[in-house]
Amino acid sequence: MQNIHSDQAGSPANHYDVIIIGAGAAGLICAIEAGKRGRKVLMLEHTDQVGKKIRISGGGRCNFTNIHATPDDYQSRNKLFCVSALTRYTPQHFIALVDKHKIAWHEKKLGQLFCDGPAQQIVNMLVSECEAVGVTIRLNYDISSVKEDANFLVESNQQPVTSDSLVIATGGLSIPKMGATGFAYEIASQFGISVTQTNPGLVPFVFNGQEIEFYKRLAGVSIPCTATCSGVTFAENMLFTHKGVSGPAILQISSHWKNNNKVHLDLLPDFNLLSHLKDQQTARPKVELATVLSALLPANFVKAMCEKTFTNQPMNRFSLKDLTGITNTLKDWTIQPDGTEGYRTAEVTTGGVDTKDISSKTMCALKVQGLFFIGEAVDVTGPLGGYNFQWAWASGYCAGQYA
Ligand SMILES: Cc1cc2nc3c(=O)[nH]c(=O)nc-3n(C[C@H](O)[C@H](O)[C@H](O)COP(=O)(O)OP(=O)(O)OC[C@H]3O[C@@H](n4cnc5c(N)ncnc54)[C@H](O)[C@@H]3O)c2cc1C
């Protein structure tokens, strides 16, 4: 442990009750809550703006919560860790804040709540709440070190500052060009706190080699499906891209994918394809397979499959074994991606600061009094659809009660 020797840092003007590093979703809510308790709060952000990810989220409309969010929806090494925070700060709490600021919103689908207008409204709301409780926000703040003795000392390209509590709200590794860094993991390691394996989540799959040509020619084609991997299934659309596959079903399943895993896609969920093909064979024996399948699936996809995998011929030429094979291919289309687009485009980072070293009630590190970790930095990851912001709000709220 190092002693803090800095006259500037020691001066009351540079001492805060709480310093929060990272002015994203979790940090902003935490600042508001700590400020409401009368704490003198300083937020430090290394980019030139607060809430950059909020601005671009939800296609610019911010999918700010999901009314169906429950702890069961989240992945973490300790699935029970998020229960306390998500129970104490629910989607209804955030909706009440949005309503207080008269921000119009709507449910798009599956409980996903979006702003009617720009996502910037959510950032403005959070900043005005921070202002109302006297939070100081400093931008372009390049932190060079964090030290701990009686207080926390944060050194940077600006004057050193000290605090009683230090909240790490710097998010995960997703989208470095928006300001993402591994700062939270570095601080965790510095203080002897474990970090679980991190991976890009909610991210498109890519294919290399010859296979990519198949995907490229179908870029833009979307198919409703179920995607299954590692025992988890999502029912949504998949989308072909120039590099492989994306779309909600693929993004969702990517968070559960590990290198070399196979992903199983049912391209006609809840539909008895074999029975349909047999019926068509009887009713329209001279009609070609491509015509039959094009009534069920996008014609471009059927054409590509007929060139690659199936023989396109009149239905009466297929044996039962052939029809069973076609059914299996479309109802259990198995892909083995070469990788993902990585942190460059991933919406989240799975894994993070290990929940075994953090209090689920306060978000404070068990080994280091006054050091808190919140938001995406922590090993709690939600699916697509407003769940990750809900975790950021809930964990930020909890830390704000104790920091
Ligand atoms: C394109 C995109 C769209 C998304 N859309 C949605 C959506 O609609 N709904 C949803 O629920 N989730 C969405 N997400 C996920 C969501 O944005 C994150 O889960 C959420 O922002 C995490 O909040 P956070 O506060 O933990 O981290 P962040 O919001 O990432 O904030 C971390 C902050 O810390 C700052 N920082 C990092 N390192 C340092 C450092 N060394 N010093 C100082 N500051 C630092 C960053 O610049 C940033 O401002 C989306 C993500 C992306 C990338």
What pLDDT, on a 0 to 100 scale, did the predictor assign at position 117?
98
Cβ-proximal residues to 90 (8 Å cutoff; 6+ apart), any chain: 69, 394
What pLDDT, on a 0 to 100 scale, did the predictor assign at position 395?
98
What tens digit of pLDDT does each residue of 70-88 get? 999 999 999 999 999 999 9
Please give the model's pTM, rounded to 2 decimal places. 0.95
Nearest CA to ligand 1 atom 31: 24
- Whether the pLDDT of residue 1 is over 80: the answer is no
Amino acid at 50: V
* 7-199+349-402 to CATH, choices 2.70.170.10, 3.40.50.300, 3.50.50.60, 3.40.47.10: 3.50.50.60
Q: List pocket residues of ligand 1, CB cut-off 6 Å.
A: 21-27, 44-47, 52-53, 56-58, 62-63, 143, 169-171, 174-175, 179-181, 183, 347-348, 375-377, 386-389, 392
Q: Provide mean pLDDT across the span 363-392.
A: 98
What span, in angstroms and rounded, lies between the C-alpha atoms of 134 and 123? 16
What pLDDT, on a 0 to 100 scale, did the predictor assign at position 63?
98
Q: Which fold has domain 204-340?
A: Elongation Factor Tu (Ef-tu); domain 3 (2.40.30)
Domain limits of the chain?
A: 7-199+349-402, 204-340
Indicate left, alpha or beta for 5 from its phi (over 0: left) and psi (-120 to 50: alpha). beta
Average pLDDT of the chain, as a whole number:
96
What tens digit of pLDDT does each residue of 258-270 get? 888 999 999 999 9
Residue among 105, 173, 198, 388 to mutate when testing ligand 1 (max atoms within 8 A of CB): 388
Partners of 364 in the β-ladder: 372
Which DSSP state fits 343? G
Nearest CA to ligand 1 atom 23: 25
- Whether the pLDDT of residue 121 is over 60: the answer is yes
Using the atom order of ligand 1, give the atom closest to the CA of residue 47: 47
- Whether the pLDDT of residue 7 is over 80: the answer is no
Residue 38: Cβ-neighbour burial (10 angstroms; 0-12, 13-18, 19+): exposed
With bands split at pLDDT 50, 70 and 90, how would you rate the model's confidence at 215? Answer: very high
User: Among candidates 63, 16, 59, which has minimal Cα distance to 40?
Assistant: 16
Tell me, in angstroms, the distance from the centre of ligand 1 to residue 149's CA.
Answer: 30
